């Protein structure tokens, strides 16, 4: 499965749902949480209460650090700070 980052929106949340939902039978099935069909993969992902917006980025950086260059990681961090509202910049 291809890597995705939070900037990719619905593609990112679709990928995350595919990794955690056991045996989905359709795209609509992925958007159903507790009997409620959500309008987007992002809404369904958030409804599952798995992780917060900040944790999405932590996960993204943890995956990228093993496969990407320093240049790419710096660009990713700058983009996250400028465009996504990433607020917590202290090291983990």
pLDDT digits (tens, 9 = 90+) for 21-59: 888 899 999 999 999 999 999 889 888 876 655 666 777
Asked if 41 and 14 count as a contact pair (C-beta separation under 8 A), the reply is yes
Q: How confident is the model at residue 90 (pLDDT cuts 50, 70, 90)?
A: low
Q: Decide if 18 contacts 24 (C-beta within 8 A).
A: yes
- Cβ neighbours, 10 Å, residue 76: 19
Distance CA(90)–CA(92), nearest Å, equals 7
- For the record, the structure tokens of 5 come out as 């980052």
Is 74 within 8 Å of 14 (Cβ atoms)? Answer: no
Distance, first Cα to last Cα, the chain = 27
Look up tokens 């990112």; give the residue.
12
pTM of the model: 0.58
């Amino acid at each position: 499965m291809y890597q995705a980052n939070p900037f990719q929106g619905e593609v990112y949340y679709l990928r995350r749902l595919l990794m955690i939902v056991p045996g989905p039978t359709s795209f609509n099935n992925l958007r159903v949480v507790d009997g409620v069909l959500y309008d987007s993969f992002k809404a369904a992902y958030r409804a599952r209460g798995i992780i917060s917006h900040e944790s999405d980025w932590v996960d993204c950086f943890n995956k990228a650090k093993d496969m990407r260059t320093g240049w790419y990681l710096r660009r990713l961090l700058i983009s996250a700070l400028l465009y996504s509202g990433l607020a917590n910049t202290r090291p983990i």
